[in-house]
Chains A and B, each alone.
Chain A
Amino acid sequence: MAFAFPLSAAEKAGGEENTFNPKETIFEHLLDGYGWELPFSHEHRIPLPVIVRDYKGDWNVFMSHRLDHGQAYNGFYIAQEGPNKGKVEGVDDAGNRYRPLDLSITKNVLALIIAALVCAWCVFSVAHWYKKRRFKAPKKGVGAIEFLIEFVYTGVIKSTLGDKAPRFAPYLLTIFFFILLMNLLGLIVIFPGGANLTGNIAVTMVLALCTFIIVNVRGTKEYWKEIFWPDVPLWLKFPLPIMPLIEVFGIFTKPAALMVRLFANMMGGHMIILSLISLIFIFSALGAVVVGFTTVISVLFSLFMLMIDTLVSFIQAYVFTMLSTLFIALAQVEGHHEGKVEKVEK
């Protein structure tokens, strides 16, 4: 009874195999997965560990290939429809489907770890250079990374935060390089890349949350005073706290804007490229000439879009860092003067 559903779902999917469904394909690439597709093969995936806790509180760890093609393992299967479509589901004793606590190393989590390792390697290569060759100018790759560090550190962090720059620079530089590498790795189509990381709202949410925490935990007294008792005519804040309400709202809109901006930009880029490639398969029914023509156009357009996305990868990492710096700087106000800038900015 428990396994009847996934099997029937697999049959349904098998029946539709020959007709191309662009929406499904695009979303499959945009969303997370339990395995990592190998290039040129839709069937073979790199198995990744699935870590789930069932309703009894027991942890189950197994490789994702046991769930391929609608198989079930230990009572867990990948839902083919319903609210948990594409996610691991289980069936409890009463026969109800439920979503277990899922801490699987999915495609996105592995891509995250790879991005973090690459990021650490990049940064430590610069640190290592300084340790070894002190004041010699770095060459080649190290020089490029150092240029980015210098660009962000002196161009954004130091010019905005001034004396407080060294205190916040580690966080800001880390998010810049981490976002940049996640963006760029997402553009590489095959294995170590290809995961739509920064186009996933969970990832951008955590990043925005970190900025939110740093802004508000390290905010000065003046910053909180500006929020709850701003420098406006009395009737705007008492008895009805109109301005304080707007200011408090602003605390949450700022990181929310950060989250949505990065997410929408990167997701949009991936979606456009996938749509352009899908065009080839949509037009495949119309004959060889049309397909040939569409292929050339689509490939040219997606190449163009990839180039733009490379630029966007950098711009979005830069913008995220710049706005985080700005929000931190606005929460570091000391006098009355800067308090006004805060309002203008909104």
Chain B
Amino acid sequence: MELFTPEFGLVFWMFVVFIILFAILAKYAWPYIIRSLDERAELIDKGVEYAQEAKAQLDNAQADAKALLVEAQKQQMEILHEAAQMKNHIIEEARQAASVEAKKVMDAAAVSIEQARKESELQFRREVSEFALQIAEKMMRKQLSDDKTQVEMIDKLLNEIENKN
């Protein structure tokens, strides 16, 4: 029956047409379409994921900001505290340094005063002994010779006077 016997001409043309159609579509259309479909599906998936992430981030943002503010305040307090401590420390150090310096100056002054006093005392004593000698000489020139015992006695007397002072 002719309905069930394939005609060679039609088989030939069908083969040619189908192969050409397949070759053209497989080269220029399908790979591009399939790639685009896959890419678009991926893009949509990524978009949804991104949106979800963005929403979650937005929700967290306020909490983050609050935490940041608290942290900043804490840091500020710390810095102020440190500054105050440093100020006290510096003042304390300066004070100590000043007192040490002052003490040094006072000590030096005391030493020099003591020296001056001793010197002047020595001077004074020399002068007094000279005066006393002159006086005694003048007084005793006549009565006394330049006796050594006499001088010693006078010196002893002068020591006594000095100790009294």
A: which residues have CB within 8 A of B? Answer: 27, 30-32, 85-87, 101-106, 108-109, 112-113, 116, 119-120, 123-124, 126-127, 130-131, 134-135, 149-150, 153-154, 166, 169-171, 173-174, 178, 200-203, 205-207, 210, 267
A120 lies within 8 A of B24 (CB): yes
CB distance from A202 to the nearest CB of B (A): 4
CB contact under 8 A between A106 and B10, given known A31-B2, A170-B31: yes
The answer to whether B69 has its CB under 8 Å from any CB of chain A is: no
B25 lies within 8 A of A170 (CB): yes
CB distance from A215 to the nearest CB of B (A): 16
Residues of B within 8 Å of A134, CB to CB, are 36
Residues of B within 8 Å of A205, CB to CB, are 6, 11
B3 lies within 8 A of A174 (CB): no
How many residues of B are counted as interface, with CB atoms below 8 angstroms from the partner's CB atoms? Answer: 34
Residues of A within 8 Å of B6, CB to CB, are 200-202, 205
Closest residue of chain A to B20 (Cβ to Cβ) is A116
Residues of A within 8 Å of B37, CB to CB, are 149-150, 153-154
A169 lies within 8 A of B10 (CB): no
Residues of B within 8 Å of A32, CB to CB, are 7, 10
CB distance from A44 to the nearest CB of B (A): 24
In the bound assembly, the distance between CA atoms of A205 and B11 in angstroms comes to 8
B30 lies within 8 A of A178 (CB): no
Chain B, interface SS category:
helix
CB contact under 8 A between A31 and B3, given known A171-B26, A206-B15: yes
A123 lies within 8 A of B33 (CB): yes
Closest residue of chain A to B5 (Cβ to Cβ) is A201
Residues of A within 8 Å of B36, CB to CB, are 130, 134
CB distance from A121 to the nearest CB of B (A): 11
B10 lies within 8 A of A86 (CB): no
Residues of B within 8 Å of A101, CB to CB, are 8
Known: A31-B3, A120-B29. 10 other contacts (CB 8 A): A102-B9, A112-B10, A116-B21, A120-B25, A123-B29, A127-B32, A149-B37, A166-B31, A173-B30, A200-B10
CB contact under 8 A between A178 and B26, given known A131-B32, A135-B43, A202-B11: no
Q: Identify 15 residue pairs between A and B in the complex whose beta-carbon atoms are under 8 Å apart, listed by A's number.
A: A31-B2, A103-B12, A109-B10, A112-B13, A112-B17, A116-B17, A116-B18, A120-B25, A126-B33, A149-B33, A166-B31, A170-B34, A200-B10, A202-B6, A205-B11
In the bound assembly, the distance between CA atoms of A83 and B14 in angstroms comes to 23
Residues of A within 8 Å of B18, CB to CB, are 116, 178, 206-207, 210
Contact with B3, one of A27, A102, A170 (Cβ below 8 angstroms):
A27
Closest residue of chain B to A145 (Cβ to Cβ) is B33
The answer to whether B50 has its CB under 8 Å from any CB of chain A is: no
Closest residue of chain A to B38 (Cβ to Cβ) is A166
Closest residue of chain A to B40 (Cβ to Cβ) is A135
CB contact under 8 A between A127 and B29, given known A31-B3, A32-B7, A203-B14: yes
In the bound assembly, the distance between CA atoms of A31 and B30 in angstroms comes to 33
Contact with A174, one of B8, B22, B34, B40 (Cβ below 8 angstroms):
B22
Contact with B33, one of A106, A119, A127, A203 (Cβ below 8 angstroms):
A127
In the bound assembly, the distance between CA atoms of A135 and B9 in angstroms comes to 44
CB distance from B86 to the nearest CB of A (A): 62
Residues of A within 8 Å of B10, CB to CB, are 32, 106, 108-109, 112, 200, 202-203
A103 lies within 8 A of B13 (CB): yes
A171 lies within 8 A of B3 (CB): no
In the bound assembly, the distance between CA atoms of A27 and B4 in angstroms comes to 12
Contact with A201, one of B3, B8, B43 (Cβ below 8 angstroms):
B3
Residue among B5, B8, B9, B25 with most chain A CB within 10 A = B9
For B130-154 the 0/1 string (1 means CB < 8 A from A) is 0000000000000000000000000
Residues of A within 8 Å of B4, CB to CB, are 201
